[in-house]
């Protein structure tokens, strides 16, 4: 099994606060990989380091054989890692379709001259981008809202739109930051199905951060547990459930 | 379908005839000075459309925009006046001025890339002032800009032997200098509008809008923030430089005084009043704010004619009425006269 992403001894501190300490693990091609941990465990920090929002204090991240050291966010997207945000960050004044069009930015080329002249190549690219965007909206199940402003979508649909926008860049790794936050059990179940469906349909590798342990146990092939910025363990869901430090630090008496 | 298309065409035709006849109607109706006022309104429309790319599209609050107008005006002035004895043709001077302005847009934009909102506004304000002070002081040790006295006897806008300042009333009655400038400026304003509209609805325009709404999400969507911000600064400045060159040729005189902070604020007001991000709104805002102060001037004449003497001097009231009009506008239509769909939500606050 090939490893798509390697997190190699990554640490990150904010002044005196050690948010991540010497974290190492690898995500395999085609798996749905979960990252769990209590609040403040460093999950989102790891996400931000991975996507270039924050540089690591030390350590490396290697994606598809290439080091991601100090690459800005737009480069990391071009290399094939797309993400969503914990607190939804859509372009709320744009329609759902336009949001997905922006997501295709890195796959399209036309510039100022093309925009002004609107020549054949530009028109073709634009038409193709719009078709692709409509398909993506259909695949996440919100095609009926393609001309609705993102701000006017329901919460669950906004989450779906954010996933569609991320998929628009044709990533190899899709990183979802708490995609089920604020959803009810039925919506969570739908989301799980959607993620599994997209993983298969787009040949994706998926990295998910989530609080909902039950959902993660069903969704992920392997799960990494973070606590106080340190990696506790990486294992299959069944074994995670029985890990003594996991029960103590995170699951409590829930299972 | 064909019916609605036909009615759309007849609307456009009526609009075109109206725009073509406007200067003659103004000359015949309320006076020749009004053609000059409309000329200025068109120049300001081009300026406002340029600033709208920076502020309205990309969301970068630029308070020093007038500097690019100044660069365009001075390039024209230096290359087409007795200052250096140069008299370059229009097709060379205007593009050079626009290009210099675009370049200075990049140069001034580059150091401000990491700044946002208030901080960006303050730094751009400073840059605007730097350019003005430079122009004011570049008469020593080598006299380039003639300092605070400015440059006069600038060649009029001319194509070959055809000067836009000379009357051609023998060719067509009423075809005076300002009327010819009106047609030139109208054509260029329409061109700038066309470019602005095309840009707005394109990959580039969407990238700008994404940066305006959420920089982090824009970067995470693969948008190169630095390049697209600089592109916005450059495009906006280029339009500013074009308008500046035309202004120099139109007035025949430039001095640093014309490019003060108040002018930058005024152009920003035009955008905010008209509807930030909306091309038609911006043009309407520019025309309103150029014409309104002049129209208020007429209040004095009206009092003199109808009441025999001036009770309230309009020059005292002009700015007050102007200010009140702006305040009222912001309360009644905070998103501007013609709202941009993309911007509507921001002004709506928490209302659903």
Predicted confidence (pLDDT) per residue in A236-245, tens digit: 999 988 888 8
Distance CA(A188)–CA(A182), nearest Å, equals 9
**pLDDT for position B28:** 85
Half-sphere exposure of A125 (CA within 13 A, CB side): 18
Could you say which DSSP state residue B141 is in? S
CB < 8 Å & 24+ apart, contacts of B17-24: B19/B186, B20/B183, B22/B182, B23/B178, B23/B179, B23/B182, B23/B183, B24/B174, B24/B179
Are A144 and A26 in a shared domain?
no
Average of per-residue pLDDT across B210-223: 95
Domain-located, residue A27: yes
Q: How confident is the model at residue A70 (pLDDT cuts 50, 70, 90)?
A: confident
Distance CA(B285)–CA(B18), nearest Å, equals 19
Using a 10 angstrom Cβ sphere, with 0-12 exposed, 13-18 middle and 19 or more buried, the burial of residue A247 is: middle
Are A153 and A200 in a shared domain?
no
pLDDT > 80? residue A254: no
**pLDDT for position B351:** 40
Contacts of B111 (CB under 8 A, 6+ apart): B123
Q: How confident is the model at residue B3 (pLDDT cuts 50, 70, 90)?
A: confident
Q: Do A101 and B203 touch (CB under 8 A)?
A: yes
Average of per-residue pLDDT across A11-40: 92
pLDDT > 90? residue B162: no
**pLDDT for position A41:** 87
pLDDT > 60? residue A3: yes
> What domain count does chain A have?
2
Q: Quick check: helix, strand or coil at residue B187?
A: helix
The answer to whether B95 and B239 have CB atoms below 8 angstroms apart is no
Give the whole-number percent of chain B exceeding pLDDT 90.
57
Domain boundary among A147, A170, A193: A170
Q: How confident is the model at residue B349 (pLDDT cuts 50, 70, 90)?
A: very low
Give the whole-number percent of chain A exceeding pLDDT 70.
97
Domain-located, residue A109: yes
Q: What is the 3-state secondary structure (H, E, C) of A177-210?
A: ECCCCCCCHHHHHHHHHHHHHHHHHHCCEEEEEC
Average of per-residue pLDDT across B42-61: 95
**pLDDT for position B309:** 76
Contacts of B240 (CB under 8 A, 6+ apart): B47, B50, B51, B65, B66, B68, B69, B71, B72, B101, B105
Are A178 and A254 in a shared domain?
yes
Q: Is the previous residue joined to B240 through a cis bond, with omega within 30 degrees of 0?
A: no
Domain-located, residue A13: yes
pLDDT > 60? residue B337: yes
Q: Do B222 and A53 touch (CB under 8 A)?
A: no
Are A35 and A94 in a shared domain?
no
**pLDDT for position A251:** 56
**pLDDT for position B171:** 80
Residues of chain B in contact with residue A165, where contact means CB-CB under 8 angstroms, are 221
CATH at residue A208 = 3.40.50.300
Closest chain A CA to residue B207 = A102
Q: How confident is the model at residue B328 (pLDDT cuts 50, 70, 90)?
A: confident
Q: Judged by CB atoms within 8 Å, which residues 37-96 of A form the interface with B?
A: 51, 53, 72-74, 77-78, 82-83, 85, 89-94
For residue B123, give both structure tokens: 């730094």
Are A76 and A176 in a shared domain?
yes
Q: Does B196 touch chain A (CB under 8 A)?
A: no
Q: Do A106 and B202 touch (CB under 8 A)?
A: no
Q: What is the 3-state secondary structure (H, E, C) of B99-114?
A: HHHHHHHHHHHHHHCC
**pLDDT for position B352:** 36
Are A71 and A179 in a shared domain?
yes
**pLDDT for position B350:** 40
Contacts of A218 (CB under 8 A, 6+ apart): A192, A237
Contacts of A104 (CB under 8 A, 6+ apart): A129, A132, A133, A168, A169
**pLDDT for position B112:** 87
Are A44 and A29 in a shared domain?
yes
For residue B281, give both structure tokens: 């709104």
For residue B233, give both structure tokens: 């600064």
> According to the per-residue pLDDT averaged within each range, which of B185-194, B261-270, B314-323 is highest?
B185-194
| pLDDT tens digit sequence for B72-85 | 999 999 999 998 99
Measuring CA to CA, which residue among B149, B235, B243 is closest to residue A113? B235
Q: How close A220 gets to chain B, by Cα (Å)?
A: 24
What residues make up the domain containing A184? 1-80+171-255
**Of the ranges A102-106, A148-152, A154-158, B31-35, which one carries the lowest mean pLDDT score?**
B31-35
Distance CA(A132)–CA(B56), nearest Å, equals 28
Domain-located, residue A85: no
pLDDT > 60? residue B150: yes
The partner residue sitting opposite B204, judged by closest CB among A73, A78, A112, is: A112
Contacts of B206 (CB under 8 A, 6+ apart): A94, A98, A101, A102, A105
Distance CA(B91)–CA(B236), nearest Å, equals 20
**A11-to-A58, A172, A224, B157, B305 alpha-carbon distances in Å:** 5, 25, 16, 64, 81
CA A225 from centre of chain: 17
Are A56 and A33 in a shared domain?
yes
Closest chain A CA to residue B210 = A91
Residues of chain A in contact with residue B224, where contact means CB-CB under 8 angstroms, are 74
**pLDDT for position B164:** 85
| pLDDT tens digit sequence for A200-221 | 999 999 999 988 888 999 999 9
Q: Do B220 and A92 touch (CB under 8 A)?
A: no
Please state, rounded to an integer, the average pLDDT across all residues of chain B. Answer: 88
Distance CA(A198)–CA(A163), nearest Å, equals 10
Q: Where are the beta strands (DSSP E) in chain B?
A: 80-81, 86-87, 151-152, 158-159, 162-163, 253-254
Are A176 and A253 in a shared domain?
yes
Residues of chain A in contact with residue B221, where contact means CB-CB under 8 angstroms, are 74, 77, 102-103, 105-106, 165, 169
The partner residue sitting opposite A116, judged by closest CB among B198, B206, B345, is: B198
Contacts of A11 (CB under 8 A, 6+ apart): A18, A20, A21, A22, A23, A56, A57, A58, A59
Better-scored residue on pLDDT, B296 or A86:
A86
Q: Do A77 and B231 touch (CB under 8 A)?
A: no
**Of the ranges A51-65, B86-100, B212-226, B323-337, which one carries the lowest mean pLDDT score?**
B323-337
Domain-located, residue A66: yes
Contacts of B179 (CB under 8 A, 6+ apart): B23, B24, B27, B35
Among A115, A128, A136, most B C-beta atoms within 10 A, so best to mutate, is A115
Distance CA(A1)–CA(A9), nearest Å, equals 21
Are A202 and A143 in a shared domain?
no
The answer to whether B181 and B166 have CB atoms below 8 angstroms apart is no
Using a 10 angstrom Cβ sphere, with 0-12 exposed, 13-18 middle and 19 or more buried, the burial of residue B187 is: exposed
**pLDDT for position B344:** 61
Q: Does A127 touch chain B (CB under 8 A)?
A: no
Q: Does A126 touch chain B (CB under 8 A)?
A: yes
Domain boundary among A144, A170, A196: A170
| pLDDT tens digit sequence for B252-309 | 999 999 999 989 989 998 998 888 889 999 999 999 889 988 887 777 777 778 877 7
Domain-located, residue A44: yes
Are A27 and A76 in a shared domain?
yes
**pLDDT for position B2:** 63
Residues of chain A in contact with residue B222, where contact means CB-CB under 8 angstroms, are 74, 77-78, 103, 105-106, 169
**pLDDT for position A255:** 42
**pLDDT for position A89:** 95
Contacts of B194 (CB under 8 A, 6+ apart): none
Closest chain B CA to residue A167 = B221
Domain-located, residue A108: yes
Domain boundary among A126, A143, A170: A170
Measuring CA to CA, which residue among A53, A60, A59, A33 is closest to residue A225? A33
Q: Do B214 and A115 touch (CB under 8 A)?
A: no
Are A76 and A177 in a shared domain?
yes
């Amino acid at each position: 099994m090939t490893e798509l992403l390697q997190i190699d001894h990554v640490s990150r501190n904010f002044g005196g606060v050690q948010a991540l300490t010497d974290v190492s693990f690898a995500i395999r091609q085609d798996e749905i990989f979960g990252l769990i941990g209590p609040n403040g465990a460093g999950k989102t920090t790891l996400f931000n380091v991975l996507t270039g929002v924050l540089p690591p204090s030390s350590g490396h991240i290697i994606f598809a054989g290439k080091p991601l050291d100090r690459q800005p966010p737009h480069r990391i997207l071009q290399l094939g890692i797309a993400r969503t945000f914990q607190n939804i960050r859509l372009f709320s004044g744009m329609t759902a379709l336009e949001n997905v069009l922006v997501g295709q930015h890195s796959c399209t080329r036309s510039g100022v001259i093309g925009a002004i002249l609107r020549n054949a190549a530009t028109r073709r690219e634009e038409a193709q981008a719009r078709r692709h965007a409509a398909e993506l909206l259909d695949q996440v199940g919100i095609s009926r809202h393609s001309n609705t402003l993102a701000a006017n979508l329901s919460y669950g649909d906004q989450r779906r739109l954010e996933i569609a926008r991320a998929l628009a860049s044709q990533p190899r790794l899709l990183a979802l930051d708490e995609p089920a936050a604020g959803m009810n059990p039925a919506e969570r179940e739908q989301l799980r199905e959607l993620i599994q469906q997209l993983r298969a349909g787009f040949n994706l590798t998926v990295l998910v951060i989530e609080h909902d342990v039950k959902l993660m146990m069903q969704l992920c092939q392997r799960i990494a547990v973070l606590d106080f910025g340190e990696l506790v363990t990486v294992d299959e869901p069944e074994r995670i459930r029985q890990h003594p430090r996991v029960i103590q630090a995170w699951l409590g008496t829930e299972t | 379908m064909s019916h609605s298309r036909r009615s759309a065409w007849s609307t456009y035709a009526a609009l075109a005839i109206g725009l073509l006849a406007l200067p003659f109607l103004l000359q015949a109706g309320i006076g020749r000075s009004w053609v000059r006022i409309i000329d200025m309104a068109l120049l300001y429309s081009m300026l406002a459309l340029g600033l709208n790319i920076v502020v309205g599209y990309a969301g970068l609050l630029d308070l020093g925009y007038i500097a690019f107008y100044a660069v365009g005006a001075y390039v024209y002035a230096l290359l087409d006046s007795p200052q250096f004895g140069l008299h370059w043709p229009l097709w060379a001077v205007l593009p050079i001025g626009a290009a210099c302005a675009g370049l200075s847009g990049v140069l001034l934009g580059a150091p401000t890339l990491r700044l946002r909102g208030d901080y960006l506004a303050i730094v751009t304000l400073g840059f605007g002032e730097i350019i003005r002070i430079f122009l004011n002081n570049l008469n020593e040790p080598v006299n380039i800009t003639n300092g605070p006295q400015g440059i006069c006897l600038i060649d009029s806008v001319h194509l070959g032997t055809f000067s836009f300042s000379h009357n051609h009333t023998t060719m067509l009655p009423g075809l005076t200098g300002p009327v010819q400038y009106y047609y030139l400026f109208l054509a260029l304003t329409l061109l700038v509008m066309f470019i602005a509209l095309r840009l707005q609805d394109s990959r580039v325009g969407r990238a700008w809008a994404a940066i305006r709404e959420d920089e982090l999400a824009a970067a995470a969507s693969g948008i190169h923030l630095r390049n697209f911000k600089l592109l916005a600064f450059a495009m906006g400045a280029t339009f500013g430089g074009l308008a500046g060159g035309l202004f120099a040729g139109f007035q025949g005189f430039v001095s640093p005084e014309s490019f003060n902070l108040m002018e930058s604020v005024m152009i920003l007001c035009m955008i905010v009043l008209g509807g930030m991000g909306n091309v038609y709104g911006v043009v309407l805002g520019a025309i309103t704010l150029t014409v309104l102060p002049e129209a208020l001037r007429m209040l004095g004449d009206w009092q003199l004619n109808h009441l025999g003497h001036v009770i309230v001097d309009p020059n005292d009231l002009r700015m007050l009425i102007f200010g009140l009009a702006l305040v009222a506008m912001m309360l009644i239509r905070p998103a501007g006269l013609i709202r941009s769909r993309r911007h509507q939500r921001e002004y709506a606050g928490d209302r659903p």
